[in-house]
Chains A and B, each alone.
Chain A
Amino acid sequence: MRNLVLGIALTALFVLGALVSFVWTPYDHTVLEITNKLKPPNGDHWFGTDQYGRDILSMIMVGARTSIAVAIVAVGIGIGLGVPLGLTAAAWNGSVLDEIIMRSNDLIFAFPSLLIAIMITAVYGPSAFNAIIAIGIFNIPVFARVTRGAALSLWTRDYVLAARVSGKGAARISFEHILPNLMNLLIVQGTIQFSLGILAEAALSYVGLGAQPPTPSWGRMLAESQTLFMLAPHITLFPGFAILLTVLGLNLAGDGLRDLLDPKLRRVAR
């Protein structure tokens, strides 16, 4: 319970920062102020300034926007395509269709998401949109597998048999009886994939395949600051901590949600 509260609080902090950045940031993150470069944290610039004199707090707030947007859409793609595929595979378990779906998933799984991103970038050029597609594609087999595995065990329940006796078809049973009972699992898996999405976005931006300048991104902020790390450690530390704390918060929230939603894993408090 403590984990859940802490996780949600951390996540909410960053979501709030991202939302506020739409209407207000301490400074304009696109304005360069070379005379004011590499200032350590002070009263005017709470998180200091970078090598071009931009306010780091403002950049982190706007960067949160990118990270969260990429992760939400990528998880959305994963759920939107992966869950129906998993349900289909489970409903026609053992059929040719099941084999086609699951073996295609294996194929996608075999590629690291970074490789998919490089392939997409090679064709369409780097952008936040392409990062979303790359991470989203990687999420599809994750959700398809989780869904199929859990759905297969639900298909053996008597209530599914009762629905079949009532003449309901596989598609209808999947949506009426299987999907609602998978929700807990999908929420938990969604939170975890969300944090992985943020990490993946940071990694792609770090190698220059994500959001392009001037759109700030936590991963690129890290990449740009690494040569100056000895000179001005704060410009590395703040984006680094932003990534660390968001991922930590989401993972804690995911664990907490699982404990809350899945009574089988819940331990009675001593």
Chain B
Amino acid sequence: MSLLSISNLSLSIHGTQILERVSLSIEPGEIHGVIGESGSGKSMTAFSVMQLLPDGATCSGELRLDGQDVLHADEAALCAMRGERVGMVFQEPMTALNPLMTIGAQVAETVLIHENVSQAEAMRRAQDALERCELPADTFPMSRFPHELSGGQRQRVVIAMAIALRPKLLIADEPTTALDVTTQAEILSLIRKLVDEDGMGVMLITHDLAVVSGLADHITIMRNGVVVEQGEGATLYRDMTHPYTKALFAASSHQPDRTEAKADAALLRVENVTRSYALPRKAIFGAPKRFVAVDNVSFEIKRGESLGLVGESGCGKSTLTRAILGLEPLQGGVITLDGSPVLSGRQADLSVRRKMQVVFQDPYSSFNPRHKVGRLVAEPFYLLGRTATDEEIEVALTSVGLTPSDKVKYIHEFSGGQRQRIAIARALIIRPELIILDEAVSALDVSIRAQILDLLADLSKRFGLTYLFISHDLSVVRSITDRVLVMKAGKIVEEGATEDVFDTPHHPYTQALIDAVPKLPDLDGIDIGRS
């Protein structure tokens, strides 16, 4: 008998169909990858198992956990089930923990809720769970608070909470999406280890095909609430039949069509730039310590080139971006664009700023929700000291694949991918020479990401744009850049042509970074519908 068997599960919320006849089963000791883009219903499937559904949700079909009918169980039975037999790990380790409780107490809490044991016994069990999640007591005592841990360590605590009672099923909803690649690799191997030790079943939900490849025993691919393809993890990639699976696969390893940059004069020159912040004063006498976010960094971007800047969170790449835009005062060095410094005194030089624009990561917070698209897109015209004409707005919108009539709409009428197009239109409208793309495709689904990468390649050809492409996603950087810089702890540790750096990395950090990237199986000779 399967540990979890879902058959013909349909779910509607206030009459809107969310899931339609979803069937899947998970055996003990198996990792089952559930893959889909946003809105595919993958998370709702997981919440159906826990019966943690929003108001107005109605389920039909059959959902059995370890033989027990979940859909018709009462709340008391469900409470006993959650945590005890099903553990759950969420995407965001920063908000999944209570900041006011020590990590030991949080793990022990799960034990205390479900089992009638003493506080001391619960703490002992918590210790045990944390050690199994590779947080040993001598380096990570249980008296630590969440804020004293890194993102990856917090995610280990979340996993420890989920496995403390040795549940039979673990649901992991995008457990590594918010983490850096090297941390992601560690967390994934931890999950594999726990599965092998305990024989629990895991439902691993992700949007990233590469994460589950080589890890999942079974894979289910979902789209719009429907299961489109199911198969063995080892063979699905070879045997896929559904066009959507193929399209998803093609998009994941998408290579935009772009021309090599011609060697030309430097457009942006960053010379020995240092940016440091004063830390809170610890002693009454003596200067407070300083945190160096960007440490003596030098590089240049040639006109028409696409340069990648790769690094994990906290490496200083965002500070460097802001410094280039003239939004950060520098403690040393100089940044020049087209020969003129971006800072004049402590203020940004706006005549230099005209030549560059930026696209941010989050398409949902990049726009003022109270303004119409026409006004949003025209904002950079402030730098030119005039307002945009209707024609200029329309040209900018059409050049990113939107229609001129979109200018009278509000931003909430657009999807994430469309918003990112609007962000590009905003960056493009005053025809800058340099566009800084700060994780510009990281928040997008793979198929949308492929479209945006194509758009960027196309725009660069048409307008002769120079890109500084900042990302933690190495596969994206590889597909769109000519040269790449690898940044660690405020320093550039490796620099070179993209292919060279990825094929023969020299610095140990670069090697570790590239090794940690989950890889899709090699598909040479397999037709995946790529034209």
- The interface of chain A, by Cβ under 8 A from chain B, is 157-159, 161-168, 176-177, 180-181, 267-270
- Complex Cα–Cα for A161 and B357 (A): 11
Residue of B56, B353, B362, B365 near A167 (CB, 8 A) is: B353
Q: Min CB distance, B283 to chain A, in Å?
A: 21
Known pairs A165-B357, A165-B358, A166-B380; A159 contacts B366 (CB<8 A): yes
- Evaluate whether A270 and B56 lie within 8 angstroms (CB atoms) in the complex, with A162-B360, A180-B370 already known: yes
CB distance from B367 to the nearest CB of A (A): 5
- In the assembled complex, 26 residue pairs joining A and B whose CB atoms fall closer than 8 Å, in A order, are A158-B360, A158-B361, A158-B366, A159-B368, A159-B376, A161-B327, A161-B358, A161-B360, A162-B379, A162-B423, A163-B379, A165-B327, A165-B357, A165-B358, A165-B380, A166-B380, A166-B382, A166-B383, A167-B350, A168-B382, A180-B371, A181-B370, A268-B54, A268-B55, A268-B56, A270-B55
- Report chain A residues within 8 Å CB of B480: none
Is the beta-carbon distance between A165 and B369 smaller than 8 angstroms? no
Q: Which residue of A lies closest to B364 (CB)?
A: A158
- With A158-B362, A167-B348, A268-B55 in contact, do A180 and B368 touch (Cβ < 8 Å)? yes
Q: Are A157 and B383 in contact (CB under 8 A)?
A: no
Interface residues of B (CB under 8 A from A): 14, 54-56, 325, 327, 348, 350, 353, 357-358, 360-362, 365-371, 376, 379-383, 423, 426
A168 to B357, CA, bound (A): 14
**A165–B325 touching, CB < 8 Å:** yes
B319 to chain A, nearest CB (A): 13
Distance A86 CA – B350 CA, assembled complex (angstroms): 28
A167 touches B369 (CB 8 A): no
Nearest CB of A to B322, in Å: 8
CA distance A177 to B383 in the complex (A): 17
Is A177 within 8 A of B368, CB to CB?
yes
Nearest neighbor of B361 in chain A, beta-carbon distance? A158
Q: How far is the CA of A181 from the CA of B379 in the complex (A)?
A: 17
Report the minimum CB–CB distance from A141 to chain B (whole Å). Answer: 26
Given contacts A268-B14, A268-B54, A270-B55, contact A162 B327 (CB under 8 A): no
With known contacts A165-B380, A166-B380, A166-B382, A157–B350 Cβ distance under 8 A: no
Count A-B pairs with CB separation below 8 Å. Answer: 58
In the complex the two chains form, what is the Cα distance from A70 to B383 in whole Å?
45
Q: Is A166 in contact with B379, judged by CB distance below 8 angstroms?
A: yes
Determine the distance from Cα of A162 to Cα of B365 in the docked complex, in whole angstroms. 10
In the complex, the 8 A-B pairs of residues with the closest C-beta atoms, listed nearest first: A158-B360, A180-B370, A158-B366, A167-B350, A166-B380, A167-B383, A158-B365, A268-B55
Give B359's nearest chain A residue, CB to CB.
A162
Q: Write the nearest CB–CB distance from B316 to chain A, whole angstroms.
A: 17
- Measured CA separation A2–B413 after assembly (Å): 28
Q: Give the shortest distance, in Å, between A194 (CB) and chain B (any CB).
A: 24
Which chain A positions have C-beta within 8 A of B382?
166-168
Besides the contacts A158-B361, A181-B368, what 11 more A-B pairs have beta carbons closer than 8 Å? A159-B367, A159-B368, A159-B376, A161-B360, A162-B426, A164-B327, A176-B368, A180-B370, A180-B371, A181-B369, A268-B56
Q: For residue A165, which residues in chain B have a CB less than 8 angstroms away from its CB?
A: 325, 327, 353, 357-358, 380
Residue numbers in A under 8 Å from B365 (CB-CB): 157-159
Distance between B467 CB and nearest chain A CB, rounded to angstroms: 16
For A164, give the chain B residue with the smallest CB separation: B327
A266: min CB distance to chain B, Å: 12
For A268, the chain B residues whose CB sits under 8 A away are: 14, 54-56
A177 to B371 CA separation, bound complex (whole angstroms): 9
Q: How many Å from the CB of A169 to the closest CB on chain B?
A: 10
A162:B358 contact, CB within 8 angstroms: yes
Q: A162: which B residues are within 8 A, CB to CB? A: 358, 360, 366-367, 379, 423, 426
| Chain B contacts for A164, CB-based, 8 A | 327
A19 to chain B, nearest CB (A): 32
Chain A residues contacting B14 (CB-CB under 8 Å) are: 268
The residues of B that contact A163 with a CB separation of less than 8 Å are: 379
Q: Which residue of B lies closest to A183 (CB)?
A: B370
Distance of A164 Cα from B356 Cα, bound (Å): 13
Who on chain A is nearest to B381 by CB?
A166
Tell me the bound Cα distance from A181 to B370 in angstroms: 7
> Which of chain B's residues have a CB closer than 8 A to the CB of A159?
365-368, 376
In the complex, A34→B366 CA distance in Å?
70
Bound complex: CA A180 to CA B367 (Å): 13
Closest to B366 in A: A158
> Roughly how many angstroms separate A157 CA and B360 CA in the complex, as a whole number?
10
Alpha-carbon distance between A33 and B289 when the two chains are bound, in angstroms:
81
Q: Of all chain A residues, which has the CB nearest B379?
A: A166
Give bound CA distance, A161 to B362, whole Å. Answer: 12
Across-interface contacts of B368 in A (CB, < 8 A) = 159, 176-177, 180-181
For the complex, give the distance between the alpha carbons of A270 and B56 in Å.
6
Give CA–CA (A166, B55) in the complex, Å: 43
